[in-house]
A and B are shown apart, each in its own frame.
Chain A
Amino acid sequence: MAAPRTCGLWSYCGRGLSRAKRSCGLPGLRSSSLWGPLGARLLSQEKRATETHFGFETVSEEEKGGKVYQVFESVAKKYDVMNDMMSLGIHRVWKDLLLRKMHPLPGTQLLDVAGGTGLAWVLGDAEELPFDDDKFDVYTIAFGIRNVTHIDRALQEAHRVLKPGGRFLCLEFSQVNNPLISRLYDLYSFQVIPVLGEVVAGDWKSYQYLVESIRKFPSQEAFKEMIEDAGFQKVTYESLTSGIVAIHSGFKL
């Protein structure tokens, strides 16, 4: 996500597959030498416990990070042109509105996560940021948090690295509030987008994942609660384009 050059900006790319692997699963189990029925049952229980969604597919938490990584490796080349095509350029308006809300000033210490590339960029893991506590004035994440395996941990990390008084801003796909528009949106999403992905980028599956992952993301209210659970206060949200996307905001007080 681009930002004015007058701010101190750490545009930060959230990858860190190997980190994500470490934070998943239960260490004790791997080294357990309990074989036999009891061990097997424990194993299967734990396996079920560490399952999550990858679009409409069910995968283990360990796998998810890797699969998301592959999706973004695959879409990177045609990312901008596909965004323009899929949203008919409207994604630029959304990002513009986010920036307006942020109102960055000279000297603002800004962290943009899952940004891809930026002015000064650092590679790391959204669930385990390589920054000290209380460092940034603003933390933004645009169309990134949906893909994180443990959203709650990413929110906690956001809270940690923000200074007191700092602001969390998230631009993300959300739930459409109007039933008619919802049907049209679903129609467009599932019938057109993967086709566009195949024709323009030769990649059906990544764009199928994209539209499915949007459906799996919590609603405006539910996400607001998650942000509050992470310790943020004065949490609000603003729906854009009938709720296709929403900007959530919270403060570390």
Chain B
Amino acid sequence: MATLLRRALFPLRRLPSSPRPAADVPFRARSHGAGLLYPDHIPTSPLQKALLAAGSAGMALYNPYRHDMIAVLGETTGCHTLKVLRDQMKRDPEGAQILQERPRISLSTLDLGKLQSLPKGSFGREYLRFLDVNRVSPDTRAPTRFVDDEELAYVIQRYREVHDMLHTLLGMPTNILGEIVVKWFEAVQTRLPMCILGALFGPVRLSAQSLQVLVSELIPWAVENGRRAPCVLNLYYERRWEQPLRALREELGITAPPLRVQGLA
């Protein structure tokens, strides 16, 4: 019983602690960097993860503008699923390369000038157009903090950074409807609990009309495409900028959306 309790309370990596009598105090090694698996890592006990998962889910429902809460939910509930995703990536040649080279998508790593110069209709050019029209930047993704494995932390980071690519591939804008459609696609593709929860609970704030369109047309389309496409995390997007978007969609088996969702298609 005591050991069970102890395991629930201590973070995964036990470290020599400062002279503290209380057994429930997790040691924070931030000062020395020791025990941190990656720069932004915050080690957490299973109890803390459970509380974070519940709290972030509640807060995200209460205040949908708290995108950081969605991120936290993903990190605290994705433990098992991330392993499955990582193993899947390892088995695929392109995916394995991504795991090895760990490409990052941010304003500092993207050559915007080069993307701008690409022909119209190319994946890179269309991605840039998507960022422009929706006024989003690849740098708004929060860094991973609560994943206790450095490779899995990369996998979830990659998933986040690839999210905008999916918008481009699916032709979905960044309004609430577009986001829900992408979430359904991601839920089928990744099986991440956060995606599934987001897909199921995201629609609670929609109008009846939007809900109707979503359920009758968009969700079936997203699910069908999600099932058909190979794992989207296995695509080395950075090497496919020149590829025509149409050809890429064909390669993945992604069909045109059943209707034009307001915003960028």
Interface residues of A (CB under 8 A from B): 54-59, 182-183, 186-187, 190-192, 194-196, 198-200, 202, 204-205, 208, 212, 215
Contact = CB atoms under 8 A, between A and B. Distances in A.
Contacts of B66: 202
A194 B48 contact: yes
A57 B31 contact: yes
Interface string B1-43: 0000000010000000010101111111011000000000010
A190 B9 CA distance: 9
| SS of B interface (majority) | loop
25 contacts: A54-B31, A55-B28, A56-B18, A56-B28, A57-B28, A182-B22, A183-B22, A186-B22, A186-B25, A187-B24, A190-B25, A190-B26, A191-B45, A191-B51, A194-B48, A196-B55, A198-B52, A198-B56, A198-B72, A199-B58, A202-B66, A202-B68, A204-B42, A205-B42, A215-B20
| Closest CB pairs A-B (n = 4) | A57-B31, A199-B55, A186-B22, A195-B51
Nearest to B9: A191
A212 B28 contact: yes
A220 to B, nearest CB: 17
Contacts, number: 57
Contact of B9 (A187, A195, A204, A212): A187
B24 A191 contact: yes
A212 B58 CA distance: 27
A21 to B, nearest CB: 20
A126 B48 CA distance: 36
Contacts of B58: 199
B59 interface: yes
State the main secondary structure of chain A at its contact with B.
Answer: helix
A7 to B, nearest CB: 40
A214 B42 CA distance: 20
A59 B31 contact: yes
Interface of B: 9, 18, 20, 22-28, 30-31, 42, 45, 47-48, 51-52, 55-56, 58-59, 66, 68-69, 72, 145
B51 A192 contact: yes
A241 B69 CA distance: 33
Given A195-B48, A199-B69, A56 B24 contact: no
Given A56-B31, A187-B9, A195 B24 contact: no
Contacts of B59: 199-200
A198 B28 CA distance: 16
A212 B27 CA distance: 10
Contacts of B26: 190
Nearest to B49: A195
Contacts of A204: 42, 145
Given A56-B18, A186-B22, A187-B9, A195 B55 contact: yes
Given A190-B25, A191-B45, 20 more contacts: A55-B28, A56-B28, A57-B28, A57-B31, A58-B31, A182-B22, A183-B22, A190-B24, A191-B24, A191-B48, A194-B48, A195-B51, A199-B52, A199-B55, A199-B59, A202-B66, A204-B42, A205-B42, A212-B28, A215-B25
Contacts of B145: 204
B22 A195 contact: no
A205 to B, nearest CB: 8
Contacts of B45: 191
Contacts of A199: 52, 55-56, 58-59, 69, 72
